[in-house]
Amino acid sequence: MQQGRKMRVLTLRKQYSEGGASSSQSQTDETMAYTLPSKRPKLFVRGKDDYLPGNIVEIEIHNFMTYSHLVSKPGPRLNLVIGPNGTGKSSLVCAIALGLAGEPQLLGRASSIGDYVKRGEESGWINISLRGNREGEIITITRKMDRQNKSEWQLNGRLVPKREILDIVHKFNVQVGNLTQFLPQDRVCEFAKLSPIQLLEETEKAVGDQELSGQHRTLIEKSRDLKRLEITVRQNEETLSQLSAQNAEQERDVERVRQRQQLLQKAESMKKKLPWLKYDLRKNQYVEAKEKERAAKHKRDEIARLIAEQKIPIEEKKQQKLKLEASCKKLNSNISSNDNKRREIIQNENQLSVQVRAKASEIEEVKKREESRQERIARAKDDLAAAEAELAKLPFYEPPKEEIECLGAQIRDIEFSSNEKRSVKREMGYKLDQERSTLQRCISRLKDIENTNIRLLQALKVSGVRHIFEAVEWVKTHSNDLKKRVYGPVLVEVNVSNRSHTAYLEGHVPNYIWKSFITQDSNDRDLLVKNLKSFDIPVLNYTGNRQMWNEPQPVTDAMRNLGITSRLDEVFEAPSAVKEVLISQAALDHSFIGSEETNRRADDANKLGVMDLWTPENHYRWSLSRYGGHSSASVSSVQGSRLFASTVDMTEVNELSNKRRACELNIGKLDDDVKSISSEQRHLEDEAAKLHRKREEIINNMKLERRRRQEMDNRIDQRRRKLESMENEEDLETTISRLTDLIGRLNVQRFKRAIEMKDLLIVAVSLKRHFAQEQLAAVEVDMKIRDMERELREPEKQGIQAQQELERCKDELEQCRRHLQSAKAAAESVAKLNPELQQAFLEMPETVEELEAAMQDCVAQANAVMFLNHNVLEDYERRCEQIRNLKFKVEGDRLALNKVLAEVNSLKDGC
């Protein structure tokens, strides 16, 4: 890229500015060549370190195409990459393009970013360091990619979107998509196909500053705008002249059209007064109807007053009638009350008569019951004597107290033995609960560890192993089909005690090993390979042959003086098969772990034979050349651990498993002992139950004998009380005397009811006579009321006629009012009254007929005006509007033309 040319040559072609090819018939090429001193400063100036801003200072790639890891530091001037085919020259070029925000399509090799990851790896990254604007300023751009075509961008170690990377690249005028600046070997044919114009544009972008290409394009566009504006101004001026000439020819016809419109407007004004004249007629009709309605209302009110005066005596008679009817109603109520009392007396007398007859019958019944009582007393005496004889015949019964006491002692001994068994069983139950609680804690802790394994499996899944859970489940389900134990995934089997070492171990071991399963039999390996192939899970077979391995290099005292503490194979625990596979696959026994001191003296570590070294900050690797024997080193920063988020302590797992098995054995033994004791306890309880039943039978027999004697005593006592009760009943003479006295009292009450009945009959006769008198008086008043109402019918008829006349007048008034409102609305819809319109109406005829005649005269005069073109006025006014618009547009186009011309001159001067 050249910067700051002292002389420049600018060539302008007229055809190129219009966007077309040159034409020999219509236009000729106009070429201007002139020499100007350079006006632009250099885009970038080299610093004391001899680098330009934007120069690549360092390139570091990892797992990219053919490279596992590469660090390259280009110089500030010309850099050459030389080597035979297939050694990775194009890979380095591709890394530069993709690391500087280029798309995979620019390289012509592959269409997706995932295809650039090294075969056998899941992800890779590109790290490019650019020299900043100031000396010592380094801008680091990092692009991480994986097989799933995902890219992650970092700027100086900070996660950023891609657009920030593009801004940095554009700031330094780096154009990886410009074939004149960056030409991959797979796109040479595309470069050859570029036209001269395209080459000029791309060269301007590549060698000039960012303004040069833009100014060139702007100059072309402004030239096109300049020509377009000149043509537009010329055409608009010609159109303006034609329109002005046409309007001058039609001015006489326009004047006649305007005269005709004035006559028609006068006729339209007269049309506005016509509905207002009709409104005045309707208003007069409304006033007449209102006067008729007022007279009809006055007549109706007079008749109503006369009717009201005649109704007063009728109302007085009606009040008198109401009083008589109330008196009759009260007398009728008293008569009904008297009748009810007489009915009650008759009913009471009937009840007393029935009671007298019942008492007489009861005397006869008492005589019959006395005979029956004597017979029952004789039978009761016989029953009592028979029960006493039966009690005397019962034999004497002696209860077996000694046998009951013997059985009680045996029961107490058995219950004591049963309680001892129950106590022993309870103690064993406590021990069993403790063992079960310990077992449950072991199981819970093992579940927590299993959850830790699940988190490790989830970390594998996040890293790209999408089917790891399905693979683990398949191995668990088919464990019976395997001949030997299968370990895996490897990540779950490894336990790192020191978390700081997890980053070393994860960075050293290839990613495919962490998701692998390890078999110990070739048949098991074939079975897993066949079934886990769809899950993309590797399978490794461990044969146990260590003879072919090199002995691990020990950590010497000299190494410890440098801060080297241990080898990488010594910092983790795993099953022997897993550990040996990791050592064989990743050479963990030849990788050492150092401290900060080791990081500062890394070169001394290589002198002690260390070829692979991990420190808290960097990972150092040395390799020997096959040809010259000299060593080369590569250094990479230590990345944090992503997989070992949760680790498992296998020692704790083994201890918990052993403790679990011991608890299960103890629980089984205690269960057997508890069952044995429970069986013995049930046997003792059965013996005690038998003795209880035997004792209960003896006691029940004692209770039965005692109950039998008690029942005999109760029966004798009951029969004796029954005999005494029958002997103590009332005798015959006393009962008959009591009933005779009761019959006498009832007859006295019947006599009193007969006296009350006589008094009520006398009152009833008097009430009925008074009721007849009041009823006759009410009938006489009712006849007088009817005569007076008959005389009132004629005035009422006249009042109805007056009311009907009033309603008819109201309907007529309402109809006139509606017509008046309609006329007013029609008039206002044509024209609303205002002082100017009222003044104009005064100059017009005052009647409808005269106004219509004047309107016809104005229309006839307007029709008498003759002209050929009826649209002449519209055409004239339309052209006037066009003339005004064109004048305004021509002025604007002239200003724009002058502005564009000034901009073109300014661009020419600035190039």
The pLDDT value recorded for residue 911 is 56
Calpha distance 848→863 (Å, rounded): 23
With cut-offs at 50, 70 and 90, classify the pLDDT of residue 9: very low
Q: Range with the lowest mean pLDDT among 69-83, 202-216, 537-551, 723-737?
A: 202-216
SS3 of 775-841: the string is HHHHHHHHHHHHHHHHHHHHHHHHHHHHHHHHHHHHHHHHHHHHHHHHHHHHHHHHCCCCHHHHHHH
Average pLDDT of the chain, as a whole number: 76
Q: Range with the lowest mean pLDDT among 190-194, 472-476, 748-752, 773-777?
A: 190-194
- pLDDT above 70 covers a percentage of the chain that reads 79
Q: Is residue 572 exposed (0-12), middle (13-18) or buried (19+ Cβ within 10 Å)? A: buried
Looking at the DSSP bridge assignments, the partners of residue 155 are 141, 158
The pLDDT value recorded for residue 146 is 92
The pLDDT value recorded for residue 123 is 92
Q: Range with the lowest mean pLDDT among 340-344, 650-654, 675-679, 760-764?
A: 650-654
Written as one letter, the residue type at 742 is L
Does residue 835 have a cis bond before it (omega within 30 degrees)?
no
For the cut 80, the answer to whether the pLDDT of residue 532 exceeds it is: yes
- The average pLDDT across 31-44 equals 38
Opening angle at CA 540, ends 534 and 543, nearest 5: 145
In the chain, what's the furthest Cα-to-Cα distance? 173
For the cut 60, the answer to whether the pLDDT of residue 20 exceeds it is: no
The pLDDT value recorded for residue 701 is 78
Q: What is the pLDDT of residues 578-623, one digit of tens each?
A: 888 888 888 888 899 998 888 888 888 888 888 899 998 889 888 8
Nearest to 864 by CA among 80, 109, 264: 264
Calpha distance 9→157 (Å, rounded): 45
Tell whether the torsion through CA atoms of 30, 31, 36 and 42 is positive or negative: positive
The pLDDT value recorded for residue 205 is 55
Calpha distance 539→21 (Å, rounded): 67
Q: What is the pLDDT of residues 880-908, one digit of tens each?
A: 887 888 888 888 878 877 877 877 777 66
Q: What is the pLDDT of residues 823-858, one digit of tens each?
A: 778 777 777 777 777 777 776 777 777 777 777 777
The pLDDT value recorded for residue 491 is 85
The pLDDT value recorded for residue 653 is 61
With cut-offs at 50, 70 and 90, classify the pLDDT of residue 17: very low
For the cut 80, the answer to whether the pLDDT of residue 155 exceeds it is: yes
Q: Range with the lowest mean pLDDT among 431-445, 526-540, 813-827?
A: 431-445
Q: What is the pLDDT of residues 251-266, one digit of tens each?
A: 666 666 777 666 666 7
- The average pLDDT across 80-96 equals 82
Calpha distance 89→552 (Å, rounded): 37
Nearest to 574 by CA among 583, 586, 565: 583
- The average pLDDT across 361-377 equals 72
Calpha distance 500→493 (Å, rounded): 18
Written as one letter, the residue type at 494 is V
Q: Is residue 94 exposed (0-12), middle (13-18) or buried (19+ Cβ within 10 Å)? A: buried
Looking at the DSSP bridge assignments, the partners of residue 144 are 125, 152
Nearest to 486 by CA among 521, 518, 460: 518
Calpha distance 683→421 (Å, rounded): 11
Q: What is the pLDDT of residues 693-738, one digit of tens each?
A: 877 887 777 777 777 777 777 777 777 777 777 666 656 667 777 7
Radius of gyration (C-alpha) of the chain in whole angstroms: 66
Q: How far is CA 149 from CA 91, 117, 122, 670, in A?
A: 18, 10, 11, 62
Work out whether strand 612-614 and strand 592-593 pair parallel, antiparallel, or are unpaired.
Answer: parallel
- The average pLDDT across 311-322 equals 82
Calpha distance 657→649 (Å, rounded): 13
Calpha distance 335→85 (Å, rounded): 145
Q: Range with the lowest mean pLDDT among 21-30, 122-131, 236-245?
A: 21-30
For the cut 90, the answer to whether the pLDDT of residue 812 exceeds it is: no
The pLDDT value recorded for residue 280 is 78
The pLDDT value recorded for residue 129 is 92
CA 12 to chain CA centroid, nearest Å: 64
- The average pLDDT across 370-392 equals 72
The pLDDT value recorded for residue 18 is 33
More confident residue, 401 or 797: 797
The reported pTM is 0.31
The pLDDT value recorded for residue 782 is 82
Q: Beta-carbon neighbour count of residue 574 at 10 Å?
A: 20
For the cut 90, the answer to whether the pLDDT of residue 686 exceeds it is: no
Calpha distance 449→656 (Å, rounded): 10
More confident residue, 4 or 855: 855
The pLDDT value recorded for residue 40 is 46
Opening angle at CA 569, ends 567 and 574, nearest 5: 155
For the cut 90, the answer to whether the pLDDT of residue 127 exceeds it is: yes
- The average pLDDT across 418-437 equals 79
More confident residue, 205 or 672: 672
Q: What is the pLDDT of residues 478-505, one digit of tens each?
A: 888 888 889 988 888 888 878 788 888 8
For the cut 70, the answer to whether the pLDDT of residue 690 exceeds it is: yes
Q: How far is CA 404 from CA 400, 411, 417, 709, 892, in A?
A: 7, 11, 20, 22, 138
Q: Range with the lowest mean pLDDT among 116-125, 208-217, 497-506?
A: 208-217
Phi then psi for residue 466, to 5 deg, are -70, -30
The pLDDT value recorded for residue 199 is 62
More confident residue, 512 or 191: 512
- The average pLDDT across 295-309 equals 82
- The average pLDDT across 536-549 equals 75
The pLDDT value recorded for residue 179 is 63
